[in-house]
Amino acid sequence: MRNFLIRTNFVPGIRHVIGWRGLKDSSSDVDAWTAKIKSFSGVFGIYFEKSDVVGEWTSGRFGLNYFPHPEEEMVELFSLRAGVYTQKDDYLSHVRDFLLYPELCDLFHIGIIELCMHQSEGALILGLESITQRRVIAKDGISLLANGRTIELVAPGGYDQNLPSYDTALAFYHVLAASLTFNLEAPPVYLTYMSRPGTEVAYDSSGNYRKHPSDDAESIYLYLGYGKADFPEHIKRRCSQVGSVHKTQVWETGDEMPPDYENAVWWNAHKISECQTLDKQILGIDDRPQLILLTGFLGSGKTSFLQHFIEFQVQRSRFVAIIQNEIGEIGLDGKLLDHDFSVTEIDEGCVCCSLIGRLKNAIQQILSEFYPDFIVVETTGLADPYNVLDEIHEVEDIVKFDSLTTIIDGVNIEKSLHDYEIVTAQIKAANILLLNKKDLITDKQIRIIDQKLRDINPTAPIIATQHGDINPALLYDVDAQYIEGMTHQKKDADKAQQIHHSYQRYGLSSFKVSFQRPIDREFLIHAVRSLPPTIFRIKGVVDIVDTIKPLLFQFVGGRFEFSEFHNLNLTDRFLIFIGKDLQKESIASVFNKHLSSKS
């Protein structure tokens, strides 16, 4: 179980497509995890209960809980006692270490996960046991005395709890089963669904509890088989321990797909084994998350930029972590996340925390619980970015620093420059300058501001935006044209054309220089440093003289980096140049002359 959970969550693209939104070990003496999945605002808790041996099968049983978010509508479907617990100040901290609080497993239990392994055949069974509705009846009702008045919370004979346990547990099972399919690199070959009459619990005001058959709730048993084994015989043995069943559905490879499960991710998760971030898949970039520093004076539009950035990455199944270096009443999307317990506060494709202490501490806190594609450090509007830049060297082993982006308030920039020295520092430190609110200023004002910014920072590109909206691929991603020489498929050419139009929208352009032989490292560094500031990003794969392995070269805003390139499928050697008013022929001729002199 640990292998399936941890290994799947290690790759951001895979994790996100399958449905994971966070995973964390729970502090206890037994294996236990808290997890978040797609479409659920609460936290699932899974923990090892016991193991046993039946024939040649070794089985492990895991309890499954669902801890709803305090503001989630599902809170109302849990018992009154559970609902009260969710409103405690320490509820979320208890959830993180839920096994230390035994009452949590009783109050929020939704089912059993079973993982069975055949001792000789190498086959696996993943099972789910739950009940359609977990019901608790208050025979005498529940009342509350408040201000001398009796308030009826549950009518006599009404449900203190009426929880859709099976549907909730099934959502987690879908994600877990897809993780097995991904890791085993094969889909299930067997499925069994069985049900029998369920039970419900009734209690009275004296504390007497009695379990009795339910009129319509059913106990459900769902099993998926992987590999080759006698699945029916083992499952028959398991079910003989729980009593007779009155409804059975069986599917095996070759049968018509069960309608209730034909769209389940577990059938195809093995086919997304190459679904990784484009950078990693195509250019062989290492697995360190990409680090972006974001700064800008108060009201410049950093939050709007971040919202667009996160939306763009989520659409591509990428995960973003935001670090904010101040604690305020309102953070991203109206809330700041407590970095001590981020797992309960993950948005779709994003987690945010506050920076308390050193940058490395905050990044390590995030990486201990998540594996993001991007980490964005957003400084307060009054912060000196050089204070953060001073710490970059401390985190180079765990993240890959991309650039510092400064958002400029085009409407108020002249006054801000006059009144606040920190604005000059924010501009000077930038690798990329985004002149925001261009819709509120004239073209003449844009030209004047552009010159002021260029006087302060002569190397960073200046790109005009409105509402902080710019395609992040232009600033931080791999250009789609990078795949030009790799597949020669029409769909890739179409994709490159779409990026080209996007460049034109912002007054940018790009072009590619190919290399047929190795290039001198010192020449490359000198040539890149001599380029005009209108070129702000260069990225590509090159062979360097006297170096055995090809290298990935990256340049942004005056800063460059070499790293090993590991993708042997890409044999092209090239550099992509992105910028404004590019003198393509003159730039290409510099490299061509150098290579010609070496031939």
Q: Give the model's pLDDT for residue 91.
A: 93
* 226 and 111 share one domain: yes
* 313 and 420 share one domain: yes
* pLDDT tens for each residue of 404-444: 999 999 999 999 999 889 999 999 999 889 999 999 999 99
* pLDDT tens for each residue of 478-510: 443 343 333 333 344 444 454 455 555 666 777
Question: Which two three-digit tokens encode residue 469?
Answer: 């909206």
Whole-angstrom CA distances from 119 to 55, 187, 202, 229, 234 are 9, 20, 42, 10, 13
Q: Give the model's pLDDT for residue 9.
A: 74
Q: Give the model's pLDDT for residue 317.
A: 58
* 395 and 539 share one domain: no
- What's the rounded mean pLDDT across residues 155-170? 96
- What's the rounded mean pLDDT across residues 382-388? 83
Q: Which domain-ending residue is among 228, 255, 272?
A: 272
3-state DSSP assignment of residue 354: strand
Report if residue 154 sits inside a domain.
no
Q: Which residue has the higher pLDDT, 127 or 599?
A: 127
- Please report which confidence band the pLDDT of residue 568 belongs to, taking 50, 70 and 90 as the band edges: low
* 58 and 71 share one domain: yes
Whole-angstrom CA distances from 594 to 514, 523, 573, 580, 586 are 13, 8, 15, 24, 13
Report if residue 153 sits inside a domain.
no
- What's the rounded mean pLDDT across residues 42-62? 93
- Please report which confidence band the pLDDT of residue 214 belongs to, taking 50, 70 and 90 as the band edges: very high
Average pLDDT over the chain, rounded to whole?
82
Q: Output the DSSP codes for 450-489.
A: HHHHHHH-SSS-EEE-STT---HHHHTS--GGGGHHHH--
Range of the domain at 185: 2-132+162-272
- Please report which confidence band the pLDDT of residue 553 belongs to, taking 50, 70 and 90 as the band edges: confident
- Looking at the structure of the chain, the number of domains it has is 3
Q: Which residue has the higher pLDDT, 590 or 559?
A: 590
* 76 and 102 share one domain: yes
Report if residue 168 sits inside a domain.
yes
* 195 and 327 share one domain: no
- If you ran DSSP here, which 8-state letter would residue 11 be given? S
- What's the rounded mean pLDDT across residues 281-289? 54
Q: Which domain-ending residue is among 272, 290, 309?
A: 272
* 466 and 570 share one domain: no
**Pair 572, 514: CB distance under 8 Å:** yes
* 220 and 363 share one domain: no
* pLDDT tens for each residue of 293-340: 999 998 899 988 988 888 888 766 577 888 876 433 333 333 333 323
* 235 and 357 share one domain: no
* 50 and 168 share one domain: yes
Report if residue 397 sits inside a domain.
yes
Q: Which residue has the higher pLDDT, 393 or 429?
A: 429
* 244 and 329 share one domain: no
Counting residues of the chain whose pLDDT is more than 70, the rounded percentage is 82
CATH number reported for the structural domain that contains residue 449 in this entry: 3.40.50.300
Report if residue 138 sits inside a domain.
no
CATH number reported for the structural domain that contains residue 516 in this entry: 3.30.1220.10
DSSP H helices, 11-78, are: 12-18
* pLDDT tens for each residue of 244-256: 677 789 999 999 9
* 245 and 380 share one domain: no
Query: Is a pLDDT exceeding 80 seen at residue 275?
Result: no
- What's the rounded mean pLDDT across residues 166-193? 96
Report if residue 306 sits inside a domain.
yes
Report if residue 467 sits inside a domain.
yes
Report if residue 409 sits inside a domain.
yes
What does residue 364 show for φ and ψ, rounded to 5 degrees?
A: -60, -35
Q: Which domain-ending residue is among 247, 272, 297?
A: 272
Q: Give the model's pLDDT for residue 507.
A: 66
- What's the rounded mean pLDDT across residues 49-60? 92
